[in-house]
Each structure stands twice: as structure tokens, then as C-alpha cells.
Amino acid sequence: MNSNQSFIQLQQKLIYYKSELAKYRSKVEQYENNYHYAQLKELKEENEQLKTKLNEL
């Protein structure tokens, strides 16, 4: 395999991985914008605050 073929294969892999990254970023964004995710995040934060208050007593 010559260096030109290797370079082309690396370019193709890079294109593929950029596409995969964009796909998964989109999925994460959709997940984070989901109402239930936001509610879960809020409840976890509230739980941590309550735990902190309890430990202070």
C-alpha cells in the first residue's frame, strides 16, 4: 500500500468519524432537551442540596 492510498483511507476515516460525532452530538442534544431529562437533573440537584443541609445539622 503506498502512502497516497494510506492518506486517502485516513481521510475517509476522518470523514466517517466526524459524521458519527455529529450524529451522537445531535442525540445528546435531543436527550438533554427532553422534559424528563431536565426534570431528573433538577431533582438530582435538589437532592444534593437537601443532603448538604442534612449533613450540616
| Separation of alpha carbons 31 and 40, rounded Å | 12
Residue located via cell numbers 500500500:
1
Do residues 33 and 27 lie in contact, with contact meaning Cβ atoms separated by under 8 Å?
no
Q: 42 lies in which domain range?
A: 3-56
Separation in Å, CA 33 to CA 5, 38, 39, 43: 42, 7, 10, 16
Domain total of the chain: 1
Q: Residue 37's pLDDT is what?
A: 83
How far the first Cα of the chain sits from its last, in Å, is: 70
Q: Residue 4's pLDDT is what?
A: 86
pLDDT in tens, the chain (57 residues): 688 899 999 999 999 999 999 999 999 988 888 888 889 989 999 999 999 999 998
Q: Residue 1's pLDDT is what?
A: 62
Q: Residue 13's pLDDT is what?
A: 96
